Amino acid sequence: MKSFASLLIAAALAAPALAFAQAHGAAPAASAPAAAPAAQQAAAKPDAAEGEKRFTAVCAACHGADGNSGVPANPKLAQQHPEYIVKQLQEFKAGKRQSPVMQGFASQLSDQDMKNIAAFVTKNKAKPGFAKDKDLVATGERIYRGGVPDRQIAACAACHSPNGAGIPAQYPRLSGQHADYVAAQLVAFRDGGRKNSPQMTDVAAKLNDREIKAVADYIAGLR
């Protein structure tokens, strides 16, 4: 619908140029290039309604109808920054972030599909989660807020913000994410299974298993 409408607009914009060109004896074809960039620009705008259709048909089974997955191994996507979602999908597609499950789904998506889907999930509110491990949550909070200074482990809050909302475009949102998923990603960054972020490889390299479990549990309850 939308691209059809934008074609009409482009055609309407092109019409006076065409009339002008014809009046001055130029070939009508001369006006065509003027219409093309306008149509392309309109098509490149993310379309959340298109994104919702695609998401509902393919992705919702694992990530939840609104992007709030109920399965601990499948990440919540709701309210995530669109730039981060697009980056991950591009990297799954290219094999830069490895996931046998996601590579297949991402390779079916064009850049425009990715932008559309990201525009849909980002506007849904993330469902808050809960920390479960009373003994570990204090350790998790300490690491999240202050890092581990004597081992040069940076505070997570410095990049992901104190409440875990992240910093749009640059640092992803973490708050409320499933602890199992977060722990699995930290282990993957540390052990080389996920190599798409030198910054996170650096951070995770020095975390031991207990610290990973603690900070993942804290993040699940963060809001």
Binding-site residues, in ranges, read 59, 62-63, 102, 156, 159-160, 200
Is 68 a binder of ligand HEC (CB under 6 A)? Answer: no
The answer to whether 88 touches 97, Cβ cutoff 8 Å, is: yes
- Other residues' Cβ atoms within 10 Å of the Cβ of residue 24: 8
129-146 burial, b for 16+ CB within 10 Å, e for fewer? bebebeebbebbbbbbee
- Chosen residue from 164, 172, 176, 221 binding ligand HEC by CB under 6 A: 172
Q: In terms of Cα–Cα distance, which of 75, 86, 81, 91 is closest to 161? A: 81
Find the shortest distance in angstroms from Cβ 62 to ligand HEC. Answer: 3
- Chosen residue from 77, 126, 220, 222 binding ligand HEC by CB under 6 A: 77
Name the residue nearer to ligand HEC (CB basis): 152 or 199: 199
Is 203 a binder of ligand HEC (CB under 6 A)? Answer: yes
In angstroms, how far is the first alpha carbon of the chain from the final one? 38
- Other residues' Cβ atoms within 10 Å of the Cβ of residue 150: 6
Of the ranges 8-16, 28-36, 40-48, 153-161, which one interacts with ligand HEC (CB under 6 A)?
153-161
Is 48 a binder of ligand HEC (CB under 6 A)? Answer: no
Distances (CA, A) of 104 to 63, 72, 189: 15, 21, 21
The answer to whether 177 touches 166, Cβ cutoff 8 Å, is: no
Of the ranges 2-10, 15-23, 38-46, 95-103, which one interacts with ligand HEC (CB under 6 A)?
95-103
Q: Compose the 115-144 pattern: x for residues touching ligand HEC by CB under 6 A, - for all others.
A: --x-------------------------x-
The answer to whether 9 touches 42, Cβ cutoff 8 Å, is: yes
Q: Which residues bind ligand HEC (CB under 6 A)?
A: 58-59, 61-63, 73-75, 77, 85, 87-89, 99, 101-102, 105, 109, 117, 143, 154, 156, 158-160, 171-172, 174, 182, 185-186, 196-197, 199-200, 203, 215
